[in-house]
Structure 1
Amino acid sequence: MRLTHFADNSVKKINTSLWLAAIKPPIYSVAIIPITMGTLAAYRDTGEINLPIFSLFILSGILIIAWLNLSNDVFDSETGIDVNKSSSVVNITGNKQLVFRISNICLGLAILGLSAIAWLQQDWQVILLVLLACFLGYTYQGPPFRLGYQGLGEFICFICFGPIAIAAAYYSQAQVLTPVTLPTAILIGISTTIILFCSHFHQVQDDILAGKKSPIVRLGTKQGANVLMILTASMFALTVLWWLLGYFPLSSLLIFLAIPSGQQLVSHVQKYHDQPSRVSNSKFIAVKFYIWSSVFLALGLIAPTFFS
């Protein structure tokens, strides 16, 4: 009886771990952070935050990420690239159609939330921007585009979670589009792209077999690790540049407090880039860097508003 109880607990722990890996809770930060950054930029310029609009946007953003994660699992199951991926929701449930239906429900609810924002403001600009991002997100893995298989996923990620997401969040608060958000959007776009870039290191062989020409397949893991180092360093170099050009305040240099998490990411990938089992967690270290760099940047950008 004790052995059976122990085995049951072990199975439950494995199942829980699989589901957590499949749902990817940390990855939902890529919805929360751009919307928060765009909202804070609007607050810096207008002195106001519409909390109901902000809350609706956050909820819709989380639902969109759920749609992307679930639908991508469905699309990947059709190409066979996820055949060895134990954390695929499709592989766990064995029901591709159910997963696809749930993903579409998430998208429908997200559009409903965005429509509520548009109705409250009598302005459809926000929903048009987000729908553009959703379309680009679909082209990443969805047929007939599957642009991620051509190595264009990182470019799509940069555009959607950088300029478009932050512009939409800013517009939802200020009802105006402005190039002032672009420097921040570039940094958030880069740090989000780093997460996707790191997700390729451990699945090079599966990508090659499925015909997916990810950046790591094209570059090789060693060169990919070097590119990651450059991308990570560019976050800090660009922040200094934006400050010198007058786009950012001096306090934006608080982002340098994220150097330890950036160094951890770069060192880990440099050391284990060609060891799939050891480098597979690099995307989670990348999420950690993404969160910390965003938090410190946000504090730096908003600090002058509070002190003034």
Structure 2
Amino acid sequence: MGTGAVKGPVYTIRRILNVLWFWAGATRAAFSSASMVPVALGGAVAASHGSFATVPFLLSAAGVLALHLGANLVNDYYDFASGADEIRDDRTPFYGGGTILVNGTLDPYEVSQAYRALFAAAALISLILAVSRGPAVVALGLAGFLCGYCYTAPPLRLSYIGLGEATIGLSFGPLTVISVYYVQAGRLDAGALEALAASLPVGLLVAAIVFVNEFPDRAADSACGKRTLVARLSLRTAAAGYAALVLAPFAVIAAAISLGWLPRATALTYLAAPLAFLGIRNLRAAYGLSASRRAAAASGGYVASCQVAASLFTILLHLAVGLLLSLGFMLG
């Protein structure tokens, strides 16, 4: 009897952990730095102006995370419905579409119920924060929901008409940073201008993450009518566009510092610049070849390895720039 009493709770905890682990994989929670970095940045900007409350900050983080993970499931649901995920044969954790529906791990109904639950949780958090911070919190949360849902869902299907990259950049850049700042400060004041300036580099870099991961999906996206920017451009032009996306944040930061919109300590972000050049180098190595040489290289896995490296360096660049910006605000 005593042994059973010990095993029961342990078994229950293991089951709970297994369920959490499963849903973390299904929602691609491992890539939540895309949303958590701007949350941290918004909090850092507010703290530098003497406005920081732990509970509202944690609620903001939970709400943004729920919206992000819900949007990931919406993306899987509608990409599967359009056939985009089924015709991809080169999947990695970075690109190639979701696998939970293609592999039959979950069915569409289960996925739809999961993203509805996540969106409901985000809505509840918005309402809780609105009690103390005002109805603007609900409006900001609604804007985040619309960006996440309409990214792949009809009728807008923004990612299918070449607006997906800008939508993600706006959502996980200005919208998230300013929303978190507003929750902390309770108003949009002079500090909000700093929040906006700080949000632009992270917005550009999260758009770069989406952009770089569209390269290997280019043929599949075109085949199913998903006209991403990479699908619309030549590979050489798209590679140049990627270089612009990962280098532009440093120009924005320099300009904002010179105008007094960012503290001088945010120049720390230049420590992350080598990651941008590593991303550019790997992407050019993969797609800067002639078509014949690229096909030969692909057979040996060269293109895939360079693409994975470019994707990884872009994620690390976004993380590093966001955290160094946050540190810069804390140092003043």
Alignment TM-score, normalising by the size of structure 1: 0.87
Residue 262 of structure 2 is aligned to residue 248 of structure 1: yes
- Structure-2 separation of matches of 1:280 and 1:103: 28
Q: Call closer, same or farther: CA 1:105–1:19 in 2, change over 3 Å.
A: closer
2:9 is matched with none
- Structure-1 separation of matches of 2:210 and 2:255: 25
1:94 Cα shift?
Answer: 4.6
1:199 is matched with 213
Percentage identity across paired residues of the two chains: 24
5+ residue gaps, structure 2 = 1-21, 92-97, 288-293
1:208 is matched with 222
- Structure-1 separation of matches of 2:183 and 2:64: 13
Match 1:262 to one of 265, 276, 297: 276
Q: Give the counterpart letter for 1:209 in structure 2.
A: A
What is the CA deviation profile of residues 94-136 of structure 1, one whole-angstrom value per residue up to 9, with x for unaligned ones? Answer: 51111111111111111112221112x0512112112112112
1:26 Cα shift?
Answer: 3.5
Please list, as runs of the form range in 1=range in 2, the aligned pairs for 1:111-130 lying within 5 A after superposition: 111-119=123-131, 121=132, 123-130=134-141
Kept in 2, the 8 Å contact 1:130–1:165? The answer is: no
1:50 Cα shift?
Answer: 0.6
1:295 is matched with 323
- Structure-1 separation of matches of 2:163 and 2:34: 19
1:235 is matched with 249
1:150 is matched with 161
Match 1:37 to one of 41, 52, 56: 41
Higher helix share: 1
Q: Secondary structure at 1:101's aligned position in 2?
A: helix
How many residues align? The count is 286
Kept in 2, the 8 Å contact 1:60–1:110? The answer is: yes
1:302 Cα shift?
Answer: 2.0
5+ residue gaps, structure 1 = 1-17
Match 1:181 to one of 158, 171, 195: 195
Q: Secondary structure at 1:202's aligned position in 2?
A: coil
Please list, as runs of the form range in 1=range in 2, the aligned pairs for 1:276-287 lying within 5 A after superposition: 277-278=304-305, 279-280=307-308, 282-287=310-315
Q: Secondary structure at 1:287's aligned position in 2?
A: helix
1:257 Cα shift?
Answer: 0.8
Kept in 2, the 8 Å contact 1:196–1:283? The answer is: no
1:7 is matched with none
2:290 is matched with none
Q: Call closer, same or farther: CA 1:154–1:56 in 2, change over 3 Å.
A: same
1:3 is matched with none
1:35 Cα shift?
Answer: 1.4
What is the CA deviation profile of residues 236-291 of structure 1, one whole-angstrom value per residue up to 9, with x for unaligned ones? Answer: 11111111111122211100111122222111111113656332553333211110
Residue 24 of structure 2 is aligned to residue 24 of structure 1: no
Q: CA RMSD in A?
A: 2.1
- Structure-1 separation of matches of 2:170 and 2:106: 33
Please list, as runs of the form range in 1=range in 2, the aligned pairs for 1:48-59 lying within 5 A after superposition: 48-59=51-62
2:108 is matched with 96
Kept in 2, the 8 Å contact 1:39–1:169? The answer is: yes
- Structure-1 separation of matches of 2:259 and 2:203: 20
Q: Call closer, same or farther: CA 1:179–1:25 in 2, change over 3 Å.
A: same
Q: Call closer, same or farther: CA 1:63–1:84 in 2, change over 3 Å.
A: same
- Structure-2 separation of matches of 1:88 and 1:285: 23
Q: Give the counterpart letter for 1:186 in structure 2.
A: L
Q: Give the counterpart letter for 1:35 in structure 2.
A: V
- Structure-2 separation of matches of 1:297 and 1:179: 15
1:170 Cα shift?
Answer: 0.6
What is the CA deviation profile of residues 27-64 of structure 1, one whole-angstrom value per residue up to 9, with x for unaligned ones? Answer: 2112211111111111111x131100011111111111
Q: Secondary structure at 1:91's aligned position in 2?
A: coil
- The 10-residue stretch of structure 1 (77-86 or 52-61) with the greater mean CA deviation from structure 2: 77-86
- Structure-2 separation of matches of 1:123 and 1:89: 38
- Structure-2 separation of matches of 1:49 and 1:118: 16
Kept in 1, the 8 Å contact 2:24–2:30? The answer is: no
